[in-house]
Amino acid sequence: MVENRAIGVERVFIGTGCNRIVNNVSWGACGLISFGSQNAVAIFDPQSAKILTTLPGHKASVNCTHWLPSSKFAFKAIGWEKHYLLSGDAEGVIILWEFSLAENKWKYVSQLAKSHKKGVTCITAILTSQNEAIFASTSSDCVVNVWKIDLPAFGGDCTITCLDTLSAGIKPMVTLSLAELPGSTTRLILAMGGLDSKIHLYCGETKGQFVRACELKGHTDWIRSLDFSSPVTINEEPNNLLLVSSSQDKGIRIWKMALCDSVSNFDKKKAANTLAYYIKGPVFVAGSFSYQVSLESLVIGHEDWVYSVEWQPPSLIENKSCYQPQSILSASIDKTMMIWQPERTTGIWVNVVTVGELSHSALGFYGGHWSPNGDSILAHGYGGSFHLWKNVGNEYDNWKPQKVPSGHFAAVTDIAWGRDGEYLMSVSHDQTTRIFASWLNEAKLKDDSDTWYEIARPQVHGHDINCLAIVQGKGNHRFVSGADEKVARVFEAPLSFLKTLTHATSHLHDDLQVDVQVLGANMSALGLSQKPIYAQALNETRDKSGNEGFDTLESIPDAVPSVLTEPPIEEQLAWHTLWPESHKLYGHGNELFSLCCDHQGKLVASSCKAQSVSVAEIWLWEVGSWKAVGRLQSHSLTVTRMEFSHDDKYLLAVSRDRHLSLFSLVRTEGSDQISYQLLTRQEAHKRIVWACSWNPSGHQFATGSRDKTVKIWGVQKETSCVQLLMTLPAFKSSVTALSWTRSHHQNDGGVLAIGMESGLIELWSISLSKSEHDSSSSVPNASLLVQFDPFMCHVSSVNRLAWRNTEKNDESDDMQLASCGADHCVRIFKVSSV
């Protein structure tokens, strides 16, 4: 049954990190940036620092993306209404996407018929005319494919044809670059480099096959990046083509291809034995022209592997001719990006700008990219993070860091809203805990009601984090996290975070700030415990001399917790926003799997991975003293999810053993101590039960399972027995997440959000008749409210759903739903008229 009530779903926020692989990012002529996030292609706008959408279609991790036209061809794409994007994944599949600027809409065009047998490692493309482009792709299968795309001039569909397939031998190529040869509009040159440390040049036509021209030797390790310039004039000689290459030998080489006189009787074998061939470089023939290749410059400056090099995009000058700036951007695993330009007098290439990431936890850059107009540069790093610098100087260069979107770079396992819905906290297998919040001052500047940013990273751990529980009730902000270790850890908000939250949300936290003496936290050498930094201790460390030795792996620099008055950048988040760890909770015999807290903030329940009854116990911990006050036995396998009822009268648990358990509250007379005892245990589903959620205004709950069903259960008042009330129609995929919330339109039912293994999300209306509270014979009604657009949803399994607390703004009909998934994404949706 589908209810006719109009439901609006809007995308509010997407937070995700970039896949940690070279060639993953591309900056398009339209100004947008594409990157791979697990199996999705994500698009972000550097102007607003927001991820606009994710494109579903790939079934494997996205290795590389490439805009058509890219920033290099922005001067040719002025006035284009449609832009295109190519993406390649780890299974060898390449997909073409279309983006309409006028409609701001994405369209899946096609999947290339002839895919690679292994993962795609690089895609490069050039525009040969307004309605034709050539692109090449390379893969770990040692094959390079060259393709032609006919772009529709006025509507219609793209047609893609494979021009040629080249074998790279036994060692795969990992980087490619295409260019038009000077003096010819139909002849192309393809450069490829890879594991054999040589640059291989191939010549071809826009409609024909490619033939080997020559190879360039010089690098002593894998070649990681190649990029052709537009034709340039050197020493008053026109028609020169420059190729820049970078390698794991830490060096950058610039090669010049000069157009020689046209040849009619050129003998390549004879020329290869001449002295000039060895001094000046190889000569190759393409059509009626010959070209001399020589090493123009060797550029040394990076201290580690240089992963990417890129020419500054050409621009149009007054006579509408193309001008190629003599400027190269390089990015290295040594944590720096450099801009290189030749000196005016000597012509020697020198480093004119160096930017980088100085945080101790950084592990370098995988790639660097120019903006279409050359005033901004972007890097993506080992931590899935972006780093953007913009030249804000007028008379001289002044590169300043800019805000960028951020997020997890591995599966996000759990999320929870702060007590008043002020912020959203998430944990992930990337071993971090992150806090996202709507920065109201930024929203006012941009006339945008929802401008979300990552505002803190409370935990940077040494183990994958599986679960999270925010402690409810009064007092300071606290949370408990469980990772792939036997210990649960308790964290408490430092003073710097409370003041930052005040700036972000404009809600005063003066009552909390009085009692909090801890400013922040420091990371230990092994990356497990986080030690508090006190106010007086911070003053003492500032007075110390700064010449006590360099940072080593054994000595970690002190964090400098500070109050943030604007959304932070990666360098601040990675190190200076940690929360101190206040307690460790010992007891479980295996890795932690699930956590939850009661609504009064008195108890926290925890479970771990288990294959026996004794290990599958649920432990109860008293908030404050953090003593173990109960051990509940019921299940024989891992307890996958637990939740307290709205009045804390019951604790519900579901497990891999396909059963559900209900525990009831037990109060000890003459004592404040509370505990729970087993009320009932029964089989719930035919497969693993992944999710459960209580009705926030009654004693009904929902369970979701791998058997693709969702069941609604009720607890009888008199007998406290659990009875199945109804089963929703079977879904197309396993149900992995549930969240039940109140509805503005009905008092006794609510809205149930259902997340699936396919990544899709649905909202169902659950209505309960009044007699149901007294008798279990009545059957509730369930109707589908809305299925989220797949372009809004996750592309992999939904791990958790959570409705935002709405006590403070009950007058509004809009509600917010947060979700997290295996696609590395944290998402927030606005649901209207529920």
Collapsed DSSP state (helix, strand, coil) of residue 442 = helix
List C-alpha distances in Å: 240 to 293, 294, 676, 748. 10, 11, 80, 76
What is the chain's Cα-based Rg? 30
> Within its chain, how far is the Cα of 130 from the centroid?
33
Rounded CA separation 819/426 (Å)? 10
Q: Closest by alpha carbon to 76, among 345, 300, 314? A: 314
Q: How confident is the model at residue 27 (pLDDT cuts 50, 70, 90)?
A: very high
The tokens for 5 are: 């009530």
List C-alpha distances in Å: 630 to 319, 345, 478, 587. 81, 79, 21, 11
Specify the higher pLDDT residue, 114 or 826. 826
Rounded CA separation 111/219 (Å)? 36
Residue burial 462-479, b: 16+ Cβ < 10 Å; e: rest = ebbbbbbbbbbeebbbbb
Of 545-549, 573-577, 594-598, 647-651, least confident by mean pLDDT is: 545-549
Average pLDDT over residues 556-562: 69
Specify the higher pLDDT residue, 285 or 5. 285
- Scanning 483-533, the segments in alpha helix (DSSP H) are 495-505, 510-513
The tokens for 326 are: 């003599």
Tell me the pLDDT tens digit for each residue of 356-402.
876 555 678 999 999 999 899 999 988 889 999 999 888 788 899 99
List C-alpha distances in Å: 163 to 88, 145, 167, 547. 18, 8, 14, 62
Predicted confidence (pLDDT) at residue 552 exceeds the cutoff of 50:
no
414: left (phi over 0), alpha (psi -120 to 50) or beta: beta
Of 107-111, 575-579, 775-779, least confident by mean pLDDT is: 775-779
Rounded CA separation 76/28 (Å)? 12
Of 3-7, 626-630, 730-734, least confident by mean pLDDT is: 3-7
The tokens for 623 are: 């908030």
Rounded CA separation 277/275 (Å)? 5
Predicted confidence (pLDDT) at residue 556 exceeds the cutoff of 70:
no
Burial class from Cβ neighbours inside 10 Å (0-12, 13-18, 19+) for residue 395 reads exposed
> Within its chain, how far is the Cα of 31 from the centroid?
19
Per-residue pLDDT at 772:
44
Residue type, 309: V
Q: Decide: 63 and 70 in contact? Cβ < 8 Å.
A: no
Per-residue pLDDT at 410:
94
Average pLDDT over residues 248-264: 81
Per-residue pLDDT at 362:
60
List C-alpha distances in Å: 811 to 480, 565, 770, 833. 32, 30, 25, 12
Predicted confidence (pLDDT) at residue 540 exceeds the cutoff of 60:
no
Of 423-432, 459-468, 469-478, 513-522, least confident by mean pLDDT is: 513-522
Rounded CA separation 247/63 (Å)? 19
Written as one string, the DSSP assignment of 5-65 is: S--EEEEEEEE-PPPSSTT--EEBTTS-EEEEETTEEEEEETTTTEEEEEE---SS-EEEE
Tell me the pLDDT tens digit for each residue of 259-268.
876 554 455 5
Average pLDDT over residues 494-516: 76
Q: Decide: 340 and 330 in contact? Cβ < 8 Å.
A: yes
Q: Decide: 603 and 622 in contact? Cβ < 8 Å.
A: yes
Written as one string, the DSSP assignment of 139-152 is: ETTSEEEEEEEE--
Predicted confidence (pLDDT) at residue 523 exceeds the cutoff of 90:
no
Residue burial 603-637, b: 16+ Cβ < 10 Å; e: rest = bbbbbbbbeeeebbbbbbbbbeebeebbebebbbb
Residue type, 530: Q
Q: Decide: 293 and 281 in contact? Cβ < 8 Å.
A: yes
Predicted confidence (pLDDT) at residue 114 exceeds the cutoff of 80:
no
DSSP 76: G
Average pLDDT over residues 243-253: 93
Q: Closest by alpha carbon to 643, among 740, 770, 529? A: 740
Q: How many CB atoms lie under 10 A from the CB of residue 574?
A: 24
The helix/strand count (H/E) of the chain reads as: 7, 62
> Within its chain, how far is the Cα of 662 from the centroid?
37
Average pLDDT over residues 461-469: 92
Average pLDDT over residues 760-764: 94
Tell me the pLDDT tens digit for each residue of 63-87.
999 998 899 888 888 888 889 999 9
Predicted confidence (pLDDT) at residue 553 exceeds the cutoff of 50:
no
Of 151-155, 252-256, 642-646, 718-722, least confident by mean pLDDT is: 151-155
List C-alpha distances in Å: 254 to 225, 226, 247, 294, 332. 12, 10, 12, 9, 17
Strands (E), 776-825: 781-787, 798-803, 815-821
Q: Decide: 187 and 287 in contact? Cβ < 8 Å.
A: yes
Residue 570, φ and ψ in degrees, nearest 5: -55, -40
Average pLDDT over residues 625-639: 92
Per-residue pLDDT at 513:
63
Percent of the chain with pLDDT over 70: 85
CA torsion 62-67-68-70 (nearest 10°) is -150
| H or E element that contains 751 | strand 750-756
Q: How confident is the model at residue 465 (pLDDT cuts 50, 70, 90)?
A: very high
Specify the higher pLDDT residue, 168 or 709. 709
Q: Decide: 329 and 369 in contact? Cβ < 8 Å.
A: yes
Q: Decide: 56 and 155 in contact? Cβ < 8 Å.
A: no
Predicted confidence (pLDDT) at residue 544 exceeds the cutoff of 50:
no
Task: Indicate the pTM of the whole model.
Answer: 0.91
Q: Closest by alpha carbon to 675, among 651, 640, 700, 653? A: 651
Q: Closest by alpha carbon to 489, among 423, 587, 561? A: 587
Mean pLDDT, the chain, whole residue set: 85
Specify the higher pLDDT residue, 548 or 609. 609
Rounded CA separation 456/495 (Å)? 13
Q: Decide: 257 and 293 in contact? Cβ < 8 Å.
A: yes
Instruction: Give the torsion sign (CA, 257, 259, 264, 267).
Output: negative
How would you classify the pairing of strands 283-286 and 306-311? unpaired
